[in-house]
């Protein structure tokens, strides 16, 4: 589905309304990032919460910037700093601003359509719920040095035994590419960047975190409130990702989900299904925002 150019039928937000939403958005973004910003100022790091800012390389200031979404005109905004923002143009009213969808399509059309296809295809597939988060275990399998400077909860030998006792079923390329060489042939799938659109499925925790990435890539087409919802989903998923990992995350508030036990597997799948539902709901909202443009 291709967005169309802005028209005179765009929804118009009065200046008081959009300024209130803009301010509320900035306050919410600040609350979501306050811990990260404070740690960064002190030169400290949280291996769960700070991951999203390094893995995706999106700064707190990006989260703070509110957009109304495509097809929404901001009344009396032409005299504000927003008039200098990229991909904004004059709307139908004399002093209004609206997202310049045509300019975005000229510059980023193939990328935007690729994001739309990824979201739509992922949401349309059934979720897989038998991986038990073993991708993190495969990243340390038979490895003396690890990506995270955190002790292994079971030690190296017992961690390796967990991998060897399970069928590893990772479908996500950006997790698979960090597998140790000995773990690669143990995976049921061999995901590549090229095959990502065909393998991505809503049960994958990393695909759920990536909803945030796709929302960012669509830029001002996505309402700011929706972007923050996607960030919160990614943050919540990251906690389970590391709780179910082989690392001892208890000192950082990540009580273990012991996927090496039946009880731990059941808890993981229960939470995984909840994230799949949240992820698909957000994918649907992002696709609606895309269609509205």
100-147 pLDDT per residue, tens: 999 999 999 999 999 999 999 999 999 999 999 999 999 999 987 777
Q: Which residue has the tokens 């300024």?
A: 19
Over range 176-192, report the average pLDDT. Answer: 96
pLDDT for residue 60 is more than 50 = yes
Q: What is the pLDDT of residue 163?
A: 98
For residue 150, what are the β-bridge partners? none
Q: What is the pLDDT of residue 215?
A: 97
Query: Per-residue pLDDT tens for 196-234?
Result: 999 999 999 999 999 999 999 999 999 999 999 999 999
3-state secondary structure of 147: coil
3-state secondary structure of 85: coil
pLDDT for residue 182 is more than 90 = yes
Q: Which residues of 110-123 are buried (b: 16+ CB within 10 A; e: fewer)?
A: eebeebbebbbbbb
Q: What is the pLDDT of residue 94?
A: 81
Q: Between residues 188 and 4, which one has the greater pLDDT?
A: 188
pLDDT for residue 85 is more than 80 = yes
The single-letter DSSP state of residue 190 is -
Over range 268-283, report the average pLDDT. Answer: 98
In the structure, what pLDDT confidence band is assigned to residue 9 with cuts at 50, 70 and 90?
Answer: low
Q: What is the pLDDT of residue 4?
A: 37
Q: Which residues of 169-205 are buried (b: 16+ CB within 10 A; e: fewer)?
A: bbbbbbbbeebbeebeebbeeebeeeebeebbbbbbb
Q: What is the pLDDT of residue 112?
A: 94
In the structure, what pLDDT confidence band is assigned to residue 293 with cuts at 50, 70 and 90?
Answer: low
Kindly report the average pLDDT of the chain as a whole number.
93
In the structure, what pLDDT confidence band is assigned to residue 28 with cuts at 50, 70 and 90?
Answer: very high
Over range 277-287, report the average pLDDT. Answer: 97
Half-sphere exposure of 278 (CA within 13 A, CB side): 24
Angstrom distance (rounded) from CA 259 to CA 267: 8
Angstrom distance (rounded) from CA 158 to CA 164: 10
pTM over 0.85: yes
Over range 264-279, report the average pLDDT. Answer: 98
In the structure, what pLDDT confidence band is assigned to residue 290 with cuts at 50, 70 and 90?
Answer: confident
Q: Which residue has the tokens 């910003």?
A: 37
Q: What is the pLDDT of residue 292?
A: 65
């Amino acid at each position: 589905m291709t967005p169309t150019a802005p028209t005179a039928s765009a929804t118009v937000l009065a200046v008081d309304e959009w300024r209130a939403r803009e301010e509320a958005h900035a306050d919410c973004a600040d609350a979501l990032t306050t811990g990260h910003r404070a740690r960064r100022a002190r030169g400290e790091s949280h291996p769960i919460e700070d991951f999203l800012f390094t893995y995706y390389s999106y700064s707190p200031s990006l989260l703070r910037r509110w957009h109304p979404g495509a097809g929404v005109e901001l009344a009396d905004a032409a005299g504000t700093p927003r008039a200098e923002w990229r991909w904004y143009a004059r709307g139908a009213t004399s002093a209004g601003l609206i997202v310049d969808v045509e300019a975005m399509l000229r510059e980023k059309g193939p990328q935007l359509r690729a994001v739309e296809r990824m979201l739509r295809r992922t949401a349309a597939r059934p979720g897989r719920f038998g991986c038990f988060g073993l991708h993190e275990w495969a990243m340390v399998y038979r490895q003396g040095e690890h990506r995270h400077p955190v002790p292994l909860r079971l030690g190296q030998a017992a961690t390796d035994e967990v991998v060897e006792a399970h069928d590893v079923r990772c479908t996500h390329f950006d997790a698979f590419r960090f597998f140790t060489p000995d773990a690669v042939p143990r995976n049921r799938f061999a995901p590549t960047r090229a095959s990502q659109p065909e393998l991505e499925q809503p049960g994958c925790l990393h695909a759920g975190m990536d909803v945030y990435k796709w929302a960012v890539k669509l830029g001002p087409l996505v309402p700011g409130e929706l972007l923050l919802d996607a960030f919160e989903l990614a943050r919540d998923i990251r906690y389970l990702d590391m709780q179910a990992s082989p690392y001892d995350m208890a000192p950082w508030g990540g009580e273990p989900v012991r996927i090496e036990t039946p009880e731990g597997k059941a808890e993981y799948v229960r939470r995984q299904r909840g994230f799949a539902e949240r992820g698909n709901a957000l994918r649907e909202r992002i696709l609606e925002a895309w269609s509205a443009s």
